[in-house]
Structure formats: C-alpha cells, structure tokens
Amino acid sequence: MTAKPVNPRKVVFSPEWVFRWRPLGSPVVPKLIALAVVGIAFVLLVTSVRIRVVLPEKMSPRRASLIYLGNDPQSRSLAMRAWEGGPFPSRFEPADWEGLAELEQQVMEAARYQPPPYVPAIKDLPEENLVQPLVLAPLGEAFFPDRKASGIRPPDVSGLQLAPVLYPLSAIGAKALPAELPAFVGPVDGVMAAAPWRFLVSVNADGGVTACVSLEKGGEAAADALEAWLHQIRFKPQPGGPDRWIALGIGFTNQPVNGTDAR
C-alpha cells in the first residue's frame, strides 16, 4: 500500500501541537547552591553564637546580729520602735499602760472619799435676857402694837389713768401692732379693767378696721365702747391684698394722761 500524499492546504493544526504542555525537567544546580548557602549560614551561627545560662548563686549570710530585749526602758523603747515601724503598727491600749492601775486606784479613793463630820463650834450666850416680856391686852379692849410709819412715800397716781392696750392672739404678731393708739373716750372702772376682752377684727388693705366681733359672752356694757375704739385704730396697710381677720386681746394698764402706748 502506498500512502496518500497530504495536501498542505488541508492540514488542520491542534492546540497541543503549538505549545509544549509537558513540564521541562527542573535543574538540580540551583537547589544545590541554595542548600549549600543555608548549610554554611547554619554552621556559622552554631559556631559563633554561644548561649550561656548561669544560675544565680544562693548567698546565705554567715553573720547576723541578735538583740536580747529585757524589761529595761531601752529594751522597751527598741521593741516599740520595731513594732511601730512594721507594716501593722499597734494602737494605744489603755489596759497596757503602766499607770492605769495607779490611776484607777486614785479614782476609787476619790470616789470613796467621805468628808469629816461637821462639828459646830459652841459659843457661850450672854447672860442678859433678850426676850421681851409678852404684853397682853386687857380683857374687852383691842390691842395693837405700836408701829412707826415708814419713810417711803406712796407713788403719785394723779397723772395716770387706766387705758386699753392691745396684745396679739392669732394671725398677727407683736411687731405688727400699731405704734400709736387713739385715746379711749369713756370711764374705765375696776370691773371693766378686770374682765377679759377678746375680739375678732376684720382689717382691709388700707389698714382700717371694718368689723369687730366680740369673742366673750356678748352683751357686755363696755363692748360697744371698745368696738368703737377698735374702729379708730389704723394697722399697717397691705396695698392690693384682701381683707384679713385677726384676733386681738385688750388689756388695761396705767398710762399717762397725755397719751397711750400701744405696747
């Protein structure tokens, strides 16, 4: 058989014909060179770098000082300095103080102290009789001992008269009372001055009294006169404020004839 000639125009190329897909054989020389360099560097490091591990030597002191503390003051002072200089200083305990027993003894002796009994000094009395004989009044006759008038002159009350004064009861203080009071017109007798007088007073914003209500029994003879007198009093004004109710008491005291004092 004879092969048919191949027409070059009809030849079809495949990709595997153009490229060589099989890997080439890797060279051994570069690997040997790299291994030689690493081996030489390792040998140099091992031979040049040396690590010495030195364990610390335990030094035990061969000398020491020992102090024996006794009961003398110097030993107690050293013990106290060592104790207070440590991390846990002590505190003062009264029971450990040497003078505590002596102090307790002194306190107990002072508490048990008893003063000596009082013995009055005796003196001789004079022989004369200082007691005067008792003088009795005759039967059926009044007898009064002689008395000398004292040199104290009675006060002059001609320039004084009983006048009413105010004292606060409720909703008002002593400082809020008026500084001046009007004169009271009318007589003041003992019955009127001894009776208690209490009034409920309505005061407007201008300080004037608009109404009075007696807090006593009512119907007293002098109640109208006192209410008329209260209507004449002017209290401290409170502009713009509402009418307020206050409770006042009226007492009587001796005042000069020419005027009265609110307090």
How confident is the model over 41-59, as pLDDT tens digits?
A: 888 888 887 777 777 777 7
Residue 170, pLDDT > 80, answer yes
- CA separation for the pair 32, 26 (Å, rounded): 12
Residue 90, pLDDT > 70, answer no
pLDDT of residue 263: 42
Q: Say if CB 96 and CB 79 are below 8 A apart.
A: no
In a domain, 32, yes or no: no
pLDDT of residue 96: 72
- Rounding to the nearest 10 degrees, give the CA dihedral for residues 231, 236, 242, 248: -50
In a domain, 73, yes or no: no
pLDDT of residue 145: 62
Question: How many degrees, rounded to 5, is the angle at CA 77 between CA 72 and CA 82?
Answer: 130
Measure the N-to-C terminal CA separation of the chain; round to a whole number of Å: 165
How confident is the model over 115-131, as pLDDT tens digits?
A: 888 888 888 877 777 67
In a domain, 132, yes or no: no
How confident is the model over 206-240, as pLDDT tens digits?
A: 888 988 888 876 556 678 888 888 898 888 888 88
Q: How large is the average pLDDT for residues 187-202?
A: 84
In a domain, 239, yes or no: yes
Residue 262, pLDDT > 50, answer no
How confident is the model over 61-76, as pLDDT tens digits?
A: 777 777 788 888 888 8
In a domain, 48, yes or no: no
In a domain, 72, yes or no: no
In a domain, 58, yes or no: no
In a domain, 14, yes or no: no
Dump the DSSP string for 125-173: PPSS--SPPPPPPPTTS------PPPSPPPP--TTEEEEEEEEEEES--
C-alpha dist (Å) from residue 257 to 73, 154, 162, 186, 226:
89, 19, 9, 13, 18
Higher pLDDT: 44 or 148? It is: 44
pLDDT mean across residues, the chain: 77
**What pTM did the predictor assign?**
0.40
How confident is the model over 157-168, as pLDDT tens digits?
A: 666 778 888 888
Q: What is the CATH number of the domain that holds 243?
A: 3.30.2420
Residue 39, pLDDT > 70, answer yes
Enter the tokens of residue 124: 């001789």
Helices (H), the chain: 15-18, 29-48, 73-84, 100-111, 190-194, 223-231
Please give the residue range of the domain that contains residue 250. 160-256
Helix (H) or strand (E) holding 261: none
- CA separation for the pair 167, 262 (Å, rounded): 9
Residue 189, pLDDT > 70, answer yes
Residue 101, pLDDT > 50, answer yes
Confidence of residue 27 (pLDDT cuts 50, 70, 90): confident
Considering its fold, how many domains does the chain have in total? 1
